[in-house]
Amino acid sequence: MATTLTHRINLLCGDGLAAFRARLSTLAEPDVYAGGLESAVTTMPRHASVLTEGSSVDIVAFGTCGGYGPPRLTLSVTMVRGHHAWPRDVFWDEAHAWAEAIAEPPLTVAGLTGSQETADGMVFHYRLRVATGAAPVPRLSAVRPSGTAAVIRPSPGFGST
């Protein structure tokens, strides 16, 4: 079922997924963490659930780099309940489909690292892996506010034709 959902998500949200994938791939670049930056984050705008009527999906990606080795990528998919209480397995199916839709090559889902129930839904955390020797993804600029986090935003003109 996850494959069918992944395909449906790609059909419905292809442009938004492509932009998010580009920002996520930027988080995998070691030079983003130059100058002591330890963590970076990017988000995807909230989407309506494709499987659970009245629910929505929030997606956040985190990159962390401890100064050695490649950056580690984590994807958090939050299934936000609408007015109905949906079974956990329904949320898991859709959350996994969103993770798979986002993790197109050169990214892959390396595994589910945890989940937790919240007051308004479920949060699922996935570890992502970047394939070695993969074709480069279009670069985005990193806007570095003060502190140890960065917000990744598209460069001017990115995606325009």
> pLDDT value at position 7?
92
Q: List, as own/partner pairs, every contact residues 134-142 make where C-beta atoms lie below 8 angstroms and the sequence separation is at least 24, other chains included.
A: 134/105, 134/106, 135/106, 137/21, 137/22, 137/25, 137/26, 137/106, 138/22, 139/26, 139/29, 140/22, 140/23, 140/26, 142/26, 142/32, 142/40
Helix (H, G, I), strand (E, B) or coil at 30: helix
Would you say residue 130 lies in a domain? Answer: yes
* Residue 158: inside a domain: no
110 within a domain of the structure (yes/no): yes
Average pLDDT, the chain: 79
pLDDT for position 43: 93
Which tokens sit at 137?
């993804």
pLDDT of res. 131: 77
How far is the C-alpha of 66 from the C-alpha of 75, rounded, in Å? 18
Residue 35 in tokens? 């100058």
Residue 159 lies in a domain: no
pLDDT in tens, 4-22: 889 999 999 998 999 999 8
Mind listing the pLDDT tens digit for each residue in 10-56? 999 998 999 999 899 889 888 888 888 889 999 999 999 888 778 89
Residue 143 covered by a domain = yes
Structural domain includes residue 160: no
How many domains would you assign to the chain? 1
For residue 4, the model assigns a pLDDT of 87
What is the residue range of 57's domain?
2-153
Q: Cα angle at 15 between 24 and 26, to 5 degrees?
A: 15
Q: In whole angstroms, give the CA distance from residue 109 to residue 107.
A: 7
Do the domain assignments include residue 79?
yes
Residues 68-117: tens digit of each pLDDT: 778 999 999 999 987 666 666 667 889 999 999 998 888 889 999 999 98
* Residue 161 forms part of a structural domain: no
With b meaning 16 or more CB within 10 Å and e meaning fewer, what string describes 126-153? Answer: bebbbeeeeeebeebebebeeeeebebe
Confidence of residue 133 (pLDDT cuts 50, 70, 90): low
